[in-house]
Every structure is written in structure tokens, then in C-alpha cells.
Amino acid sequence: MQSLSPALPNGYSAVAPGHIASVVTCLEMNERAALRSVQPFPPGVSLQRWTRPDLGAYRALFRAVGEDWLWFSRLIMPDQDLRAILNDPLVEIYALRRRETEIGILELDFRQARQCELAFFGLTRDELGKGIGRTLMNEAIERAWTRPISRFWVHTCTLDSPSALDFYRRSGFIPYALKVEVQPDPRLTGAMPRSCAPHVPLIG
């Protein structure tokens, strides 16, 4: 478990106009969690390793999964930096497909020794609530712990789905730290449409 020194003062802290703030919860498991009982992926749905994906195709899936939750980091990252991550042999990227249509993403990052970060995990809007996410999480846990790791970790934030934190906790991840993240609002910078994430107030 990592310890973090407090940096923000008690009470309210102002956020600059044009920016968004979220509370980030960091979670980890230090041994493989027991897998929850789930149904296999339904007929026509499969998880496929995506080796050296095309940047445009990767970003299209990243946007399809994360647009409702203001996932923007990979949309604004310089191409050369993103390509270096996607082509790194210690980063495993999987596309969840319903026949020929991509409906989910799983990204496991092993670049830190004896650790795996669940870097990105999610389904497109139309696939939520069908139980597929639980099956995908079991796949994530199994694939992460096939390598010689001692820590599997993830973070989620208050911009994410309201069910995300509980989902990770039920999967065996234990919260260990809170952070506050402040970033320029991607809906105001042009990185994402202004209509994205209506649950997050747009303040110019």
C-alpha cells in the first residue's frame, strides 16, 4: 500500500474557469482475488488481443467506451507517445467484439516491475447492464495474475459511472488513496463534443 501526503488544505479549493475537478479513488489487490461466478460471453462475443493497433481505430474505441465519462487522455496525447505505449510488449490491449463490432476495451499495463495497472476497462453504452462487464473483469484478473506480479491496481473517479467504484470493490480491489485531479475541460478545448457527459456541469 502506498501512502500519500496531504496537499490540499481543508475546506473548499477553487477550480479555475474552464477546468474540471474529480476525486480519484486508487484501488489495489495484492493477491489474486477469487473470481465471481459469471456466465461466459454470449454467442458472438469474444475478447481478442489487439497487437499494435492503428491509432485511429484505437482512439475510436476509446472514445466509444469513454465519451460518456470524459475519457480524454488518449485523445489529446501526441501520436508518438501513444504509439509507444500501444506498441510496448509490456502493454496488453484487448478489444471485446460482438462479431465484427468492437464493444469494449481492456488494457493491462505491466511496465512497472511486478505490478499490473488496469489502465482502461469498459463497455460501450449499449452493452452496459448485460453482465458482460463482470465476465470481462474475470478475464482481466486472470490475465493480470498469469504474470509474476504482486500488485494489481486501478483508479476510478467521480466523473466515471456511479457504479464503477462499487464494481471494483466487489471485484476484490481495496481502496488505498484519494487524489484530486484538475484538468482543462476537454469539451471546451475541442477534444470532445460539448454534449458529452451531461452529468458534469460545463462551466466556461
- pLDDT at residue 7, rounded to an integer: 75
**Grid cell for residue 140:** 482481466
Determine what percent of the chain falls in helix, strand and coil, rounding each to the nearest 5.
Answer: 25, 30, 45
Which CATH architecture describes the domain 19-189?
A: 3-Layer(aba) Sandwich (3.40)
pTM, entire model: 0.93
Does residue 149 register a pLDDT over 90?
A: yes
Q: Looking at this protein, which amino acid is placed at residue 154?
A: V
pLDDT (tens digit per residue) in 94-128:
999 999 999 999 999 999 999 999 999 999 999 99
- Every domain of the chain and the residues it spans: 19-189
Instruction: Give the pLDDT confidence score for residue 171 in this predicted structure.
Output: 97
4 pLDDT band, cuts 50/70/90, is low
The answer to whether 55 and 83 have CB atoms below 8 angstroms apart is yes
| Burial class of residue 33, CB neighbours in 10 A (0-12, 13-18, 19+) | middle
Report which DSSP code applies to 95: E
pLDDT value for 1 = 47
User: In which region does residue 7 sit, left (phi positive, over 0), alpha (psi from -120 to 50) or beta (all else)?
Assistant: alpha
3-state secondary structure of 69: helix
